[in-house]
Every structure is written in structure tokens, then in C-alpha cells.
Chains A and B, each alone.
Chain A
Amino acid sequence: MSLLLERIRKSYREPGGNRIPVLGIQRFAMNQGEQVALIGASGGGKTTLLNIISGILTPDSGRVVVDGSDIAAKQEVVRDRFRAAKIGIVFQTFNLLPAFSALENVLLGMSFSGRGVDRAFAKQLLERVGLGHRLHHSPQKLSVGEQQRVAVARSLANKPVLLLADEPTANVDLANQQLILDLIRDTCRDHNVTLLMVTHSSDVAGTFARVENLKDFNRPELCLQEQSV
């Protein structure tokens, strides 16, 4: 198993002190190399869930097992290192650092893993996303679609076991949308990377063998029940 969530509870605390329950997930699992489309209403907690899986956020309680280790139980520095080494992330927009060229953005993805940078592999990834000729362009000189392709290349820079994509094609024109989607899915398949992709588009979701709607397995009210116990 590549990803396993057990008894996840997450609520946000408002400045006034009120708790906003967001996630109450009893169990969610993905196999190694599996590809899942995650859909759900806006504000439903999809981004929160991805942040918990990547270790950017910690759940109030529950286990987040990625590649055999429960990262929710680990300290922040350990989660950071783990994320650098094992998890690739693609956001909706503005994934890239403007001060760095396309190639440098990919190298940057490598530089925090502690394994050193591999320029040849970075170039190879950019070639793979069709940007082999734009290695030294700065993000401002690339279209949104091209920027997303760089982001995809960067997310795979450390050969992750798990790729988290949060609406990666939401701001991209149709032609690029399909291209980027294919890129992500094909490269994940090639490298046996588990893929969890949040999308609002039923077209996109329709291409996945497994589609999960967050509301089907998320019961935020569980946070409140446990709190009252």
C-alpha cells in the first residue's frame, strides 16, 4: 500500500475560538501506482486533505501512512525531509519561483532532498514535458500551460512515490489541459508513482478508473463527536 489514511480528524480554529470541522475520514487507501481523481464541493477540504498527506499540515488525530511510515506522528523537520524525498506536489497556479529559470526550478526541487542535484535528469524531465528548448527561460516568459509543465517536471524531480496534484489544469486552456493531464498520468504510470489528483472537471475525472468524491468518505461531524466524548 502506498497511501493509507486512518481515523483522520482535522478542524480549523477560528480566531474567535470556534472550531470548524473539516475532515473526518475513517479510512482511505491507495495502492502503489494507483491513480485517483478526487472531486468534491468547493470548501469541502480537498486541499486540506492533500496538505495533510504531504505533511504540510498535521491532522488533529489519526494516521497518515505514506510508503510505510506514519508521517503525521513525525516532527516537522522529518516531515519536510520526507516530503522532499517522497512526495511530488503540483498546485493550481504559480507553482514556480520567478527568480529561477525553468531548469533551476526543477533543480530547486532536488536541492532540499539531501541527495544532491542531477542536472541531466532535470533536463530529461523538461524534455519529457516538451520544454527541452526552454530550459533557461524564466517563468515570466512561459505561458501558464508551460509553467504547469515545468511544475510537473519539478514534482517528479526526486522520483517520488506519491504525486499530489491540486487542480493542476484549472487555469490552463483546453489543448494544454489534455497535454498536462496526459503528461502527469503517463509519467506517473511510467515511474509507478501513485497519483492523487484533485479536479473540478468531470471531463478530467471521467478519464480516471477510480474517482472518489470527498463527501462520500468524509464526515467532518466526527470531529465534534470525538470532542464531546
Chain B
Amino acid sequence: MNLISIAWKSLKQRRLASCLTAFSIALGVMLMVLVLVMFGAVDSAFTQRSIAYDLIVGPKGSDLQLVLSAVYRMQPPIENLPYLYLEQMKNDRRVISAVPLAFGDVTQEGSFPIIGTTPEYFENDYMPGRAFKIRGTRVNGLLDTIIGYEVARKNGWDIGSSFTIVHGGAESGHVHDEKFVVVAVLAPTGTANDRTVFLNLEGFYAIAGHSKPVAEVEKRLRDFYAADPERLAAAMTQIEAFRKAETEEAGAAHNHAHHHHHETPDAMKEVTAILIKTRPEAPFDSLSLTSQLQTGYQAMAVNPVRPIQKLVTGLLGNIQKALVALTGIIILVSGVGIFVSIYNSMADRRREIGIMRALGARRMHVFGIVLSESTLLCVGGGLLGWFIGHSLAVIAAPWLIEKTGLLINPWAVNPWEATLFPILVGLAALVGFLPAMTAYRTNVADALSS
């Protein structure tokens, strides 16, 4: 029999007190684990490189909003960029890939965002080193869509399903007439792509009501290219041609439903954001691009991670620290409970300690037995709490994923958790020390005569 099993026996002897104190430690650890799992999910979703692009280009405005809408698809877009600008980006020698995103609509069922993009989006990795896995066929028709894993799961859709979309957010209630068809489903990515419906940019433009009045587009172009008269002039030529064609068409008294049959010029098209990959061998390209955009046009380039990172580490980081500290205090108080429980038991155990010493146990042995007791309670309670905490996370994960869109990994071990157990051992040593000293100092002859 070793010291630990002797300690275990004596804990079993005081079953109620042992269970209660271990459980209070478990409670503290469980709460800490839950806090860490939750914040860990927020953290990994927002602060790690969850996107394999270097820059997001969007209209001038809030960089946070641009990232939230383009990467996390949590916010409706603010403004748009001219489609011509996408072409301009593609021609920039610093850019190896420029992928447009156009959005604004949501599915009628489940309110998942609809995004128009190009096949290049799926050819690029969605996260560094992670390529999309797509089940299904290529998007060919204007109404063909690729849906994210969560969309498929939640709406019970699969290849062949058809659906309708609502314009400008579910609240507006304007359901488009078009019936979209699912041609492919993405494997889970753990990103906002899981909650997105993709269609071709052409399909997006084809949706009734997506073409803006010519006057509005013209005004936007004039603002955007204010500093670049050359490009503005080129765009205006297209606009004029389009305006002429439209008036002719109206004059021919064409039926409204057919009005988008002819080709829309690029100048009339808009995108919401452009995802940019720069040459990996030239890390300063993204910096020079960013600063150039800042001055040139009514556009801006933002790092896809940094704005959120600032927010998360700044605000949420502090909340997390406060909550972890709070659970730490619970654990500490539980430690005091263990101290009281063991210390109180020492008076009753004088004779037992005397007997063990008479059997040849050394002072260090009885010291070790009492210390093992506090360690078993702290670490055992801690393990229990850790397990319960993660189990609760497993149970709650689907619900949280659904509610928040955060990808929760219920078994993810936070570095803080790794330090938790050494800390618990330290706590055990701290609260076990005094009772252990009492055992150590026990006068054997006196203890045996009592």
C-alpha cells in the first residue's frame, strides 16, 4: 500500500466531507473550462488566420463592418464597389488573386446569406492550407448554387433541392420569384462558409431588382473615380451606351419581365467586397496596396483579421480575464474548504497517526499521506470538473453553433487549462501543508496513550 492509496482510504472514511469539497473544486474548474471553451471559440473564430486572403477591399467606411460582412457574414454590407475596380485589382501585378463577393440577399428558409462570387473562390484555400471540398457538380446556370454544410444540415437541403430568396434581409419580406437549385454542397469548414449560399456573380446580377437605376450608378462611379478621370471617362462611355439601349428598349414597350435579357455592361455592375491574395514572396505588397488604396479611390483595404482581433483581445479579452479570475476565486475558496475539512479531521486522527508511526511510518510518510489527501481532492475534483465542463460543452456546442455561428470545439484545451492542473497541485500543497505539518509533528507516545 502506497501513501496515495492510504490517503484514498482515509478520504473514503470521511466520504461526505470529501465528496463535498472535491465537488466544490469541480464546480470551479467546470465553470472555468466553460468560460475558456466559449472564449476560445470566439478567439479562434476571430483572431486566428481563419481566412487565406491577405486583404479585403471594400468601399470606404468601417473596417470592422467590412470584415464582419465579408469574412463572417454577420453584417449586411454598407456600400458597393464598381465591378470595374475588380478588373483593375486583377491587373495589379502585386495581386495574385482577386475574388469578388456580392451580397445582400438571404435565403427565405433559415436566412442564410447569398453570395455571388466566381469559381476562383473555391479554387483558393478557405483557410491557409485548407482547400474546399465540394460534393456535386459545377455551377453552370444562373440559378445554380453551392451551399455551405450548415445550410444543408439546417434546412435539410441536398443536391437537387430548390429554394427562394428574400431581398435585403429577411425582414423586408420581398421574396424573389427565382427558384434556385442546389448543385453542390461544401464539406464543413468551420468558417462562415458553412452558413453561406454561393452562386455565380452573373447569377447574382441576374436576380430581379439587383440592377440599380442608371443615375445612381453614375453618381457612385463619379464619386469613386473622382481622382482618376481616365477610368471615369471609360466607365461613362459604357454608362451612356447602356442608357441609350435602355431608353430604346422602353420605347419598344417591352414587357418588364424581359428587361434583363440583354447584356449589362461592366460599368453597371457592382461588387460588395474583393478578397485579395498578394504574392507570398513579397510581404510588403499588401502594405503598399493598402496605403495606395487609402489615398487613391473611395475604397479601402483592410487586413481580414486585425480589426476583429483588436476588438476581441481588447474587450472580450478583458471580460474573459475577469470571468477566469472569478472562477479562480471559486477554486480558491473550495481550497479553503478542503483545508478546513482536513484540518478538522486531524484531531480525530491523532491515534491513527500514532499507530502508523508505531508501525514504522516516518514523519515524512504521515506528512505525505495528508498532503496526498489534499492533492487527491484538488486534482481529483479538478479532473472531474474538467471532464464535466467539457462534457457540458459537448452537449451545448450544437446549440451554441446554431445560435452564434461560432465553431465550438468542446475538447479544445486552452493553454490556461494546461496551467490549471499545476496550479491545483500548488493549491493542494498550500491547503494541505498545515494539516500535514500537524501530522508531521504528532508526538507518537502521547498519541498512543490518548
Residues of A within 8 A of B (CB): 47-48, 51, 54, 56-57, 76-77, 80-81, 83-85, 89, 91, 94-100, 104, 107-109, 111-113, 117, 154, 158
Contact = CB atoms under 8 A, between A and B. Distances in A.
Given A99-B9, A108-B1, A56 B444 contact: yes
Contacts of B359: 83-84, 89, 108-109, 112, 154
22 contacts: A51-B444, A51-B448, A54-B358, A56-B357, A56-B448, A76-B363, A80-B357, A80-B361, A80-B363, A84-B361, A89-B358, A97-B355, A97-B356, A98-B352, A108-B356, A108-B359, A111-B1, A111-B2, A111-B6, A112-B360, A112-B362, A112-B365
B351 interface: yes
B1 A98 contact: no
Interface residues of B, number: 24
Nearest to A88: B359
A76 B9 CA distance: 27
Please report whether the interface of chain B is mostly helix, strand, loop or mixed according to DSSP.
Answer: helix
Given A56-B444, A94-B351, A108-B1, A100 B9 contact: yes
Given A99-B12, A111-B1, A85 B360 contact: yes
A56 B363 CA distance: 12
A99 B445 contact: no
A94 B355 CA distance: 9
B10 interface: yes
A84 B360 contact: yes
B352 A97 contact: yes
Given A85-B360, A112-B361, A51 B445 contact: yes
Contacts of A56: 357-358, 444-445, 448
Given A54-B358, A77-B363, 17 more contacts: A56-B448, A77-B364, A80-B360, A80-B361, A83-B358, A84-B361, A85-B360, A89-B358, A89-B359, A91-B355, A95-B355, A99-B12, A100-B9, A109-B359, A111-B1, A111-B2, A112-B361
Nearest to B353: A97
Contacts of B88: none
A48 B359 CA distance: 17
A55 to B, nearest CB: 9
B13 interface: yes
A54 B351 CA distance: 17
Interface in B306-364: 351-352, 355-364
Given A56-B444, A56-B445, A117-B1, A77 B352 contact: no
Contacts of A96: 355
Nearest to B355: A97
Interface of B: 1-2, 6, 9-10, 12-13, 351-352, 355-365, 444-445, 448-449
A112 B12 contact: no
A108 B360 contact: no
Contacts of A48: 445
Which 3 A-B pairs rank lowest in CB-CB distance, beginning with the nearest? A84-B360, A99-B13, A112-B360
Contacts of A158: 360
Contacts of A83: 358-360
Contact of B448 (A80, A85, A91, A99): A91
B449 to A, nearest CB: 7
Contacts of A85: 360
A142 to B, nearest CB: 16
Contacts of A154: 359
B349 to A, nearest CB: 9
Contacts of B12: 99
Centre residue among B356, B358, B363 by max chain A CB count within 10 A: B358
A80 B356 contact: no
A180 to B, nearest CB: 18
Most chain B CB atoms below 10 A, which of A80, A104, A109, A117: A80
Given A56-B444, A57-B445, A98-B13, A108 B6 contact: yes
